[in-house]
Amino acid sequence: MFPRPKGDRVFPQLNSFALQAPGFYFAAMIQPSMPTADQLYLLGADQEAFHQKAALAARARFGNQVFVRGVVEVSNFCRENCAYCGMRRSNRSLNRFRADYEQIAELLIHHRPASMTDVNIQAGEDPVAVREVVLPLIQTLRRETDLGISVCLGSLNHSMYDDLKQAGTSIYVIKFEIANPKMYAAMESPGQFDQRIANICYLAKTGWRISSGFIAGLPRQTTDDLLANFTLAAQLPIDGCSVSPFIPGEETLLANEPMASLDLTLNCMAALRLMRPDWVIPSVSALNLAGAGNGYRRGLRTGANLVTINLTPADFRENYLLYKRNRFIMTEDRILNAIAAEDLEPSSQSLADFYAAQKVNGTVTFTPQAAASA
């Protein structure tokens, strides 16, 4: 095991809105197997066995298939000021852009990689881009393709969430970021902690499928802070969860802080898989920054079952700045090679169809075999 930080025990406080949201009790009814502190610091043979157990849990549920989603980043305007994020509004050195929806639509309708079944439309927190770019893009894609559509657009007002759903998408990616409310506030994470949780509950209540997530290895994050992320995730009405390693962004307040440990991040991913074998858990591209060369593949080895091809046009990509300007870009080739090297294969069923095939009571009706022969 590697050394763990010391710290106070802090549990997330959920506000009353969150506790009343439908879906909340359902999520809480499942008795998930919660990680222990020791599991988060495993190394060597014990770590390998832990990851293998997690990978087996994923295979038992999803076979050897992983969902392949493309991501397009359509605006780097952001009204938030997260301490860790390069798109924070105080970063004056960033060239801000909004994509032209017709250009992105053309890309996705006529030039998308053959393996992708879903697209995730992502942006800084920018309501103008939602109106001018995202809504018409969703409407066009809905008309012209059978792509599953996810969005990752941050904390918006309810009517905007409703409009997005109306336009033809029903998967929202919204990380809770940090489960310790004090740390959430100190890091200036989006809006207020309670409001972020309330938004997740609103989305669930109005029929969205939700993928949330948290950041591992943030500066001064204690073991209890880390464990609180699992406690919160287990209580939320969500269908998937990501773990991103903290990457010190070049143009952020945390530029000089140490990067998250890859082992800690992977142990969190394995723990999450064992906590909820039924969840969709991505292998995030930042794993390759935290572990040069093999981080991504090691992510797949912890039971991740979603991969992301970056499709943002190159001229925009440089300024969609989460961490560093020289991001490691996951192309279709790299993704397919990583999947094949881990004895996995791309799912022919989209994530959207997978969710649609689930019964309302949460029973999974999807079988990879059925999807493959369809």
Binding site for ligand SAH (CB under 6 A): 84-85, 122, 124-125, 152, 154, 174-175, 177, 190, 215, 244, 246-247, 249, 322-323
User: Considering the complex, what minimum distance in angstroms separates the CB of residue 61 from ligand SAH?
Assistant: 25
Q: How far is the CB of 173 from ligand SAH (least distance, A)?
A: 7
Q: In angstroms, give the least distance from the CB of 114 to ligand SAH.
A: 27
* Alpha carbon separation from 274 to 35, 103, 251, 289 (Å, rounded): 8, 41, 36, 25
Contacts of 44 (CB under 8 A, 6+ apart): none
Distance between CA 311 and CA 297 in Å, rounded? 20
Q: Which residues are registered as beta bridge partners of 75?
A: 98, 123
Q: Can you read off the two tokens belonging to residue 41? A: 């610091």
Within 10 angstroms of residue 345's Cβ, the number of other Cβ atoms is: 17
User: Which amino acid would we find at residue 56?
Assistant: L
In the bound complex, what is the minimum distance in angstroms from residue 113's beta carbon to ligand SAH?
22
Of the pair 159, 361, the CB lying nearest ligand SAH is at 159
Q: What share of the chain is helix, strand, coil (3-state, %, to 5)?
A: 40, 15, 45
Q: Residue ranges of the alpha helices (H) in 63-174? A: 101-110, 127-129, 135-144, 158-167
Nearer to ligand SAH, 112 or 196 (CB): 196
Q: Which residue is nearest to ligand SAH (CB)?
A: 154
- Of 35 and 124, the one with the shorter C-beta distance to ligand SAH is 124
Q: Which is nearer to ligand SAH, 152 or 329 (CB)?
A: 152
Rounded least distance, CB 33 to ligand SAH, Å: 25
- Cα three-residue angle 58-36-3, rounded to 5 degrees: 110
Nearest-approach distance from CB 65 to ligand SAH, in angstroms: 26
